[in-house]
């Protein structure tokens, strides 16, 4: 499913509905993907994984930190036994410029002869996901797939949509936050995906 930039202004609010006022001069966030559309996309991904891995116990490896909310919801909806682990790769040095990739946290559970699904919140350049895939593939899993919530339609991307086995939503090339995705550790708590307004990230 593809999304264009929405015109609607979204209040800064927690999932429970309570509003929160950030200090004057902080960044603004414009609604792009609603909470309901996210739930629909996660449910659809979970249904596909449940069908494809019936009778098996896949190992889900989440890419920290942005995927933690997505992975938690996905695991609850899949409805079959799974195991969970995490990896963390550092790639962003600034809002717009990716830095050199560094592995900060490796997975702990063995992947050899396992069915492995990498869970990623968003693909921008695709460099982080490619890095993780190559590292896990070298450890000889029985199968390897990627489950991505958001794919940015960007000329920078090294991955095409068809390279991702389980893809939730395709979005424009915009800087987004919410649903676990942050800017400078802010806005992870938003229950929707929003666009950071121009000039709003200079605080």
Environment class of 50 (CB within 10 Å of its CB; exposed 0-12, middle 13-18, buried 19+) = middle
Strands 115-123 and 143-152: parallel
Structure tokens at 172: 């424009």
Q: Is 124 known to be catalytic?
A: yes
Compute CA 75 distance to the chain's CA centroid, rounded to the nearest angstrom.
14
Between residues 185 and 167, the one the model is more confident about: 167
Distance of CA 15 to the CA centre of its chain: 18
Q: Is the dihedral of CA 106, 107, 108, 113 positive or negative?
A: negative
Please, is 174 exposed, middle or buried when counting C-beta atoms within 10 Å of its C-beta (0-12, 13-18, 19+)? middle
Mind listing the pLDDT tens digit for each residue in 106-143?
A: 999 999 999 999 999 999 989 999 999 999 999 999 99
CATH classification for the domain delimited by 35-92+102-196, as one of 3.40.50.2020, 3.40.50.300, 3.30.470.20, 3.40.5.10: 3.40.50.2020
Q: Which of 124, 153, 163, 173 is catalytic?
A: 124
Residue ranges per domain, the chain? 35-92+102-196
Task: Tell me what pLDDT residue 196 has.
Answer: 86
83-92 and 29-33 beta bridge pairing: unpaired
pLDDT band for 199, please (50, 70, 90 cuts): low
- The model's confidence at residue 201, banded by pLDDT at 50, 70 and 90, is very low
Q: What are phi and psi of 132, to 5 degrees?
A: -65, -45
Q: What is the pLDDT of residues 3-52, one digit of tens each?
A: 555 434 444 333 333 343 443 334 588 999 999 999 999 999 999 999 99
């Amino acid at each position: 499913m593809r999304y264009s930039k929405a015109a609607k202004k979204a209040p800064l609010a927690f999932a429970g509905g309570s509003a929160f006022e950030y200090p004057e001069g902080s960044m603004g966030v414009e609604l792009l993907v609603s909470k309901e559309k996210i739930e629909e996309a996660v449910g659809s991904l979970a249904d596909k994984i449940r069908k494809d891995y019936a009778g098996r116990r896949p190992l889900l490896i989440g890419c920290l930190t942005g995927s933690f909310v997505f992975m938690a919801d996905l695991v609850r909806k899949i409805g079959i036994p799974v195991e969970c682990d995490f990896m963390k790769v550092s790639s962003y040095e600034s809002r717009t410029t990716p830095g050199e990739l560094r592995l900060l946290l490796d997975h702990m559970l063995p992947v050899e002869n396992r069915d492995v699904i990498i869970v990623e919140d968003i693909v921008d350049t695709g460099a982080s996901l490619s890095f993780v895939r190559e590292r896990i593939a070298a450890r000889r899993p029985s199968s390897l797939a990627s489950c991505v919530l958001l794919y940015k339609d960007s000329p920078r991307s090294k991955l095409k949509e068809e390279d991702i086995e389980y893809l939730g939503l395709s979005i424009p090339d915009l800087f987004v936050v919410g649903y676990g995705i942050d800017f400078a550790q802010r806005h992870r708590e938003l229950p929707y995906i929003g666009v950071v307004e121009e000039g709003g990230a200079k605080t």
